[in-house]
A and B are shown apart, each in its own frame.
Chain A
């Protein structure tokens, strides 16, 4: 089923192997994208997540930024999995998804509790531990 859906653009599925077929005329919709391209996207998303976590003061948005870092890790894992032609990376993305779900459940329950105490989501209002 999925195979049929994807066969709409059959030549466009990139293979992360670095080999290139020079006999085929260049087609901007097709061709192999190297591992590094995906790693750069993953790195950018991770850096954006770090920046967001450091700059935002709303606790919910801070947790959204950690989810974005998880997402970056997922892209890198899948790219490596494709590069090594096995499915281990995808299995670990399942693991990452589980962690993300558990984190969302627990962290958000905590956020709701904290909000009930002080009626604010500002992380700086909870700076008592800073000493």
Chain B
């Protein structure tokens, strides 16, 4: 957050680097290598070169990532090793999801994909979504999958203890599907490379978004002052209304009343952090106090603000969709119980119905 926006020269170098990357066929050759590897890694009957295929596919994807890293060096970007490690883990475990013959192992490898992509979220400073992803995906959705895999499996008979079903151990049309998938990837990444170079980040700076959100959270501002120990040096704690009126989002500062002049002066002399918060100490009753720079809004607060203030409709729709899914699952899972005639009569009697109704139930159904 709060970075300078790219200067034109850096952007142009980046464009050149991407041109150097995509004009030669190296990128597409590496993608073809990846495609060959994925095709080989598909499960098939008899001796299948799954390990070799996986290695070739890994080499292809890893080569593309290395290429991206090198192009980053040319444009004076410095690669972040964490990104490359987690990207490779997520892609390779994704490959294992689609190639492992046993569904349970595929689900477990998908958990690995989730974990590494939540690490990618963390690298993008989306902490809230990273942990929500682990809790919801790895913790809830994948467990549902595992339960269903266990529910929808025949008990193996004595002679075929660990044998796989035929439809699990052979892929359907591996070559055609891989060609389709990698054609999609080649077109996507080529077009994205062209589109990204022309894109400009939003003109609004992070500071102003942060300030807008801060300005509507007066209690948080008071708490931030408290944690910065501003009230220990003779400054009066403001009320919520005073914060709403006095806080200036542009300078991230507000006037605070000085209660104890001596302690305030003492604080200015002895505490450097406190002195930094006061741009100019006058002789008046109140003094302008800045929030410390590190005390911005957190990622969770930003997401919460965007969710409630900017996209309340998405929240409502999500609620409705979850409700429909719950109703649908209950309707689907409801088991039809066949009742005999005597049981129907007994049930009708306990419900306190009349003789005619009982007769109707007995005869009609």
Contact = CB atoms under 8 A, between A and B. Distances in A.
Nearest to B87: A41
Nearest to A27: B78
A19 B4 contact: yes
Contacts of B110: 64, 67-68
Nearest to A95: B314
Contacts of B332: 106, 109-110, 113
A4 B42 CA distance: 44
A104 B181 CA distance: 23
Nearest to B5: A17
B76 interface: yes
B156 to A, nearest CB: 13
B314 A12 contact: no
A49 B205 CA distance: 36
B127 A108 contact: no
A55 B177 contact: yes
* Chain A interface extent, by class: 35 or more
Given A34-B14, A36-B196, A57 B168 contact: yes
A86 B98 contact: no
B184 A90 contact: no
Given A20-B78, A51-B38, A78-B129, A115 B68 contact: no
B253 interface: no
Contacts of B10: 18-20
A100 to B, nearest CB: 6
Interface string B298-342: 110011011100110010011001101110110011000000000
B7 A19 contact: yes
A78 B209 contact: no
A88 B65 CA distance: 28
Given A39-B196, A41-B91, A121-B152, A85 B77 contact: no
Interface string A95-120: 10111111111101111110100011
A86 B306 contact: yes
Interface string A12-27: 1111111110100011
Q: Is the interface of B mostly helix, strand, loop or mixed?
A: helix
A75 B117 contact: yes
Contacts of B256: none
Contacts of A28: 78-81
Contacts of A90: 126, 128-129, 299, 302-303, 306
Q: What size tier do the contact residues of chain B reach?
A: 35 or more
A49 B185 CA distance: 11
- Choose among A18, A86, A110, A121 the residue with the greatest number of B CB atoms under 10 Å from its CB: A18
Contact of A121 (B95, B167, B322): B167
A83 B78 CA distance: 17
B202 A85 contact: yes
Nearest to B196: A36
Nearest to B42: A55
B94 A49 contact: yes
A37 B193 CA distance: 10
A32 to B, nearest CB: 6
Contacts of B177: 50-51, 54-55
B132 A31 contact: no
Interface of B: 1, 3-7, 10-11, 14, 18, 38, 42, 61, 64-65, 68, 72, 75-83, 87, 90-91, 94-95, 97-98, 103, 106-107, 110, 113-114, 117, 120-129, 132-133, 136-137, 140-141, 144-145, 148-149, 151-152, 154, 165-168, 170-174, 176-178, 180-182, 184-185, 188-189, 192-193, 196, 199, 201-202, 204-206, 209, 298-299, 302-303, 305-307, 310-311, 314, 317-318, 321-322, 324-326, 328-329, 332-333
15 contacts: A14-B124, A18-B6, A27-B78, A32-B80, A40-B68, A44-B61, A55-B174, A57-B167, A58-B103, A67-B137, A78-B124, A85-B209, A88-B306, A112-B148, A113-B332
Q: Pick the 8 closest A-B CB pairs, nearest first.
A: A31-B78, A52-B98, A102-B325, A54-B177, A51-B181, A87-B306, A47-B185, A122-B167
